[in-house]
Amino acid sequence: MRILIFMMLLLGMAACKKHLLQLPEQPAIAGLAKPILLQTDTNVVELGDYFLDPTEIKKITPADGLKIYWDRKHQKLAISSVDTVFCLSYISIRCGKYDYNIPVIRPGVDVHLQISAAAVRGDTIFVRSSAPVVEWAVYWQNYRLDPPFLCPKKDSLGIILPVIADQLRYAKLRIWAKDSMGISNDVVIPLRRGKAITAVEQLNSTDKESAFLYGLGIDGKCETDEMLSDSMGIVFHSPVFATIGRQMERGYFHDLGVNTLCLSFLLQTDSLWEDLATLTEMARQQRINVLWDTVASQVFSQTSEPYWEKGDWALFDEAVPVFARSNMGFEKLTRWLDKEFRYLGMNGDRVHPSGCPQKKRFVVCVDEYGSSLSEERQDTLCRKLFQWLAFNATIPGIPMIYGGDEVGWPKQAWLPRAGDSWMESQLNLKRKVGTLNKFRSRQMALLYGSFIPLRIEKRLCAYMRTYLGQHVLVVFNKGNETVTLKLDLPLMQEEENFQALFGSRFSYDKAKMILDVPANGVEIFYNE
């Protein structure tokens, strides 16, 4: 018996040693690695897209079910999977002295399994699933957590983080699940010192998910009577920058709930860099970030801000006809959106612009748009525009208002100026956009929550975002009359304290909600 106990202790010590994680002082991967998505028989990956210095890679080991070919000369990796239907696997890469795990996924076409971050109890983070799970895949930073850290049940998972997680001021968990029919959506949970973040105030200041962009295309010309300096003594050489600076000083962007300006320069001027540096410093004092893109980007090669990925124009092309045209339904859009989320991930740094200089403005595409707009037609137009902006702000990703869309501006060139004459419907639109954007900035469910479709019809669309007990329900009505809906809300407690952001009537009882949505309107319900 003593020998048996001694052997068990040795095995236990060996197991504990095996599952100890070591963190490098300088990680070889910046941030959380994106999954490798299998879309063909053989998929080629540029290792330089993952590792800061791929020449430091010493060894690559695929998990069971994967085959790889490593082209060391060009630092490329060809990956194929034995499972041709769907795959939830990973590769282990030794870079320097440390191992990193990168997810490898083939999600499948039609996926019914939904998972969401459910709760935190003590040191355990719980994830809930909509159906029984065959396999869970959990990544802390770029390390796949082994079974000792996981407590799986039939339709839920408890996650206990490694002790070393307390050493990281900011980190992330990323989770997938697999059932007999496919791969679930992904769940991302930000962490601070090994604890799940439950409030926006705890997020890292550089967290991209919390950004709300305002985009302006600048061609160096601007018809404006703004002074070239403001009351604070800040001097701009260009009237374009003077206009932006003046509106920033007046609180225009704060009123919209915008925390990041995204400027695109179509022309290079002699004073461009100097004016941009002045505007950036002014914005910093007001806690507004300034990002830019320019055809003359070499001007900023040594001092530029982190470069943002290109906008998701595919979403713009898919969504605008649905919200602008009366005869277009929600079904095709939601199917396309579901497929995008499965392949690109629920969370990430994809930017969703509401428009761009190369495309027609949303309002020009609306049925009611014409050369002369009555107040009634203008009101309907603004309602449809707000639906598009609300959709853009409440789906996973980073929303960006293309300058002028907040007031239904029809022309391509736009700079917000004091004294512009707007109809009451446009002013009301701007107020609602500001209310919505500020609401988003306070809701973890809209920054990191799972996306769960509830009801999709031609004229009706309802979905829920949920994160650690926080729920946001978004409902659209494209019809010309107010509708009353009854919705079953999954993953809810019997009693929740809900509110309506825009004041619509509703009642809630035992995970069922009865609610009103106005004509050509949108309503957002949330729990406290």
414 and 459 housed in the same domain: no
Quickly count: other Cβ atoms within 10 Å of residue 235's Cβ: 15
Radius of gyration of the chain (CA): 25
* Per-residue model confidence (pLDDT) at position 257: 94
For residue 390, the surrounding DSSP H or E stretch is helix 375-394
Beta strands across the sheet bearing 498-500: 450-456, 460-467, 470-477, 521-527, 498-500
The pLDDT of residue 83 is 76
The answer to whether residue 305 scores a pLDDT higher than 70 is no
Taking every pair of C-alpha atoms in the chain, what is the biggest distance, in angstroms? 93
Q: What residues make up the domain containing 293?
A: 207-442
Is the domain of 170 the same as that of 78?
yes
Residue 215 and residue 152 share a domain: no
CA separation for the pair 486, 506 (Å, rounded): 10
Give the number of domains in the chain: 3
Are 153 and 275 members of one domain?
A: no
Lowest mean pLDDT among 26-40, 53-67, 249-263, 390-404: 26-40
> Is residue 308 over pLDDT 50?
no
The stretches of 286-330 forming alpha helices (DSSP H) are: 313-324
pLDDT at 225 over 70: no
Cα–Cα distance measured from residue 145 to residue 164, given in angstroms and rounded to the nearest whole number: 13
Answer yes or no: do 435 and 499 share one domain. Answer: no
Among the candidates 197, 230, 247, a domain finishes at: 197
pLDDT value, residue 11? 40
Q: 15 and 145 share a domain?
A: yes
Residue with the larger pLDDT of the pair 215 and 348 = 215
pLDDT higher than threshold 60 for residue 74: yes
202 part of a folded domain: no
Q: What is the per-residue pLDDT across 146-204, written as a single tens digit (0 to 9) for each?
A: 999 999 998 999 999 999 999 889 999 999 999 988 899 899 999 999 999 999 999 98
272 and 155 inside one domain? no
Number of Cβ within a 10 Å radius of residue 370 = 10
pLDDT of residue 479: 92
Q: Look at the chain and count its residues.
A: 528
Q: What is the pTM of this model?
A: 0.88
Q: In the predicted model, is pLDDT for residue 491 greater than 80?
A: no
Residue 439: its H or E element: helix 424-440
Average pLDDT, the chain: 84
